[in-house]
Structure 1
């Protein structure tokens, strides 16, 4: 495992959150994990959440134990904006932003995450 990878995993949840927003803007995609039932969900304090990562490598690294059979899947930002935000809001599902292997991460509402991504994406274009 490269030291930069290890350094990122060790960051605080807030710094991993910022890292994900930056990487998603650069690469124009977000990564989720899927299994035979679809998108992997986590339960955090009575909230259902979809965990998201900035790269396939981070998603794979997280997929151990009960999640070892999961497959990383890329979602383009345009698909995320077009379908995911509204779908997650409609289902009452939040987003676990870049959880580490201990499942520590920031949980945000889909509309907040959408706004953060759009704001970061817009500043990249200017």
Structure 2
């Protein structure tokens, strides 16, 4: 166990990271993606699972950590209202899932955009914000 909170969170399993993601995103009212120099977002296509998804993180530090070694990727925030209004319909229309909070482990929670929106809205409604 490390004193670095980033490392501690990244060592959580996929479900724990998903819960952490929901709480952090609701608190900050934004989530993070990675974009390249042309402002195109990172999309991962897993040939093995035959799934394509947009990886998202609860903070820029986590996105930066994931992008280490990939020189042209930088974190970009998306406000929660924008995610709900623009990204969820766009991702759904493109047939993309959402890879919630990829970390060092290979275990990753991939969900449908509408499902993630519903989970975030449940946390929002129960949070008193």
Shorter-chain TM-score category?
over 0.9
Q: Pick which of 48-57 and 33-42 moved more.
A: 33-42
Task: Call closer, same or farther: CA 1:103–1:59 in 2, change over 3 Å.
Answer: farther
The structure 2 residue matched to 1:75, chosen from 66, 70, 78, is 78
Whole-angstrom CA distance in 1 between matches of 2:99 and 2:115: 12
Contact 2:60 2:76 in 1 (8 A): yes
The secondary structure found in structure 1 opposite 2:55 is strand
Structure 1 residue aligned with 2:103: 100
For the aligned residue pairs, the C-alpha RMSD in angstroms reads: 1.6
Runs of 4+ in 1 over 6 A off after TM superposition: none
* Equivalent pairs, count: 125
Gap regions ≥5 residues in structure 2 = none
Gap regions ≥5 residues in structure 1 = none
The answer to whether structure 1 residue 24 and structure 2 residue 25 are counterparts is yes
Structure 2 residue aligned with 1:38: 40
Structure whose residues are more often helix by fraction = 1
The answer to whether structure 1 residue 86 and structure 2 residue 89 are counterparts is yes
Question: If the length of structure 1 is used for normalisation, what is the TM-score?
Answer: 0.92
Whole-angstrom CA distance in 2 between matches of 1:49 and 1:20: 16
Question: If the length of structure 2 is used for normalisation, what is the TM-score?
Answer: 0.90
Residue pairs, 1:56-71, within 5 angstroms: 56-65=60-69, 67-71=70-74
